[in-house]
């Protein structure tokens, strides 16, 4: 069966440039391009081959069969189209078969949902849709050196998400409580005492006291005022 011309060009580039260095004497970053659209990947590989700091070592579709090609080529960076990267399975396969390669998602829209989907899939960096060839080469060099590999705007999205996760981790979560316990905690926050809560909910006073005890225990506080303060902090 006839091989796609892109593979032959990439192999030719790899044979001619293996171990090549740029004008500053540094080894060129070795890149393998993976994507759903062949003509797009061929064009990207051709563009990258014109960069003295980049060495294209292969082109392939995101299939299980292509994982062996990537492992054999041993690239520093695998460029993976954003649509495939968001699914995650290909990223995991690449990481499993070529553990030293950094997976970079390309053609990423600078939208929070897309950036975070790629991050959750396990990519090591991002190249935005509107990146120039020089920006692309610079990001690849950073990725090949194990440095952060994305634009400032994409980095800002990631930092915001990290900050959100940190806040969520630090704040005790009310879902630890049962629905009845959350109901009683809200009544405590409203200023009701145990007898008033029992009347309001038509339950026994001893039942209320048991619930209050478990609420304080779960929230890690010793008195009702502290429990009420936590419910206010969470905005409930």
Phi, psi of 128 (to 5 degrees): -70, 160
CB distance 76 to 144 below 8 Å: yes
> Of 167, 192, 214, which residue sits at a domain end?
167
Q: Which of 87, 86, 88, 71 is nearest to 32 (CA)?
A: 71
State whether the Cα torsion 82-87-93-99 is positive or negative: positive
User: Quick one: 46 and 68 in the same domain?
Assistant: yes
The tens digit of pLDDT for each residue in 82-128 reads: 888 777 778 888 888 888 888 888 877 767 777 777 777 778 888 88
User: Quick one: 15 and 88 in the same domain?
Assistant: yes
pLDDT at residue 56, as a whole number: 93
Domain carrying residue 22: 5-167
Average pLDDT of the segment spanning 180-185: 86
pLDDT at residue 12, as a whole number: 42
User: Quick one: 34 and 114 in the same domain?
Assistant: yes
Q: Which of 76, 57, 51, 58 is nearest to 133 (CA)?
A: 51
User: Quick one: 125 and 103 in the same domain?
Assistant: yes
Whole-prediction pTM value? 0.56
Decide which of 5 and 197 is more confident. 197
CB distance 127 to 137 below 8 Å: no
User: Quick one: 115 and 218 in the same domain?
Assistant: no
User: Quick one: 46 and 158 in the same domain?
Assistant: yes
In sequence order, the β-bridge partners of residue 34 are 60, 80
User: Quick one: 141 and 180 in the same domain?
Assistant: no
Q: Where are the alpha helices (DSSP H) in the chain?
A: 5-17, 38-49, 66-73, 82-87, 89-97, 112-121, 133-144, 152-170, 179-189, 194-201, 205-219, 224-233
């Amino acid at each position: 069966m006839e091989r796609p011309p892109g593979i032959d060009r990439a192999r030719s580039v790899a044979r001619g440039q293996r171990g090549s260095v740029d004008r500053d004497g540094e080894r060129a970053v070795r890149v393998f391009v993976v994507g759903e659209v062949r003509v797009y990947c061929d064009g990207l590989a051709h563009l990258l081959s014109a960069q003295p700091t980049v060495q294209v070592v292969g082109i392939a579709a995101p299939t299980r069969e292509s994982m062996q090609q990537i492992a054999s080529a041993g690239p520093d960076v695998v460029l993976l189209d954003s649509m495939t990267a968001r699914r995650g399975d290909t990223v995991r396969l690449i990481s499993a078969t070529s553990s030293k390669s950094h997976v970079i998602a390309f053609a990423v829209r600078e939208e929070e949902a897309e950036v975070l989907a790629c991050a959750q899939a396990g990519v090591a960096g991002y190249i935005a849709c509107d990146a120039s060839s020089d920006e692309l080469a610079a990001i690849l060099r950073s990725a090949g050196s194990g440095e952060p590999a994305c634009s400032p705007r994409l980095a800002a999205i990631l930092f915001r998400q990290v900050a959100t996760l940190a806040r969520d981790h630090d704040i005790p979560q009310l879902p630890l409580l049962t629905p009845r316990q959350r109901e009683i905690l809200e009544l405590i926050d409203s200023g009701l005492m145990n007898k008033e809560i029992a009347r309001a909910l038509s339950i026994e006073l001893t039942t209320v006291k048991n619930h209050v005890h478990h609420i304080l225990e779960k929230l890690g506080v010793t008195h009702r005022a502290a429990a009420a303060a936590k419910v206010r902090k969470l905005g409930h």
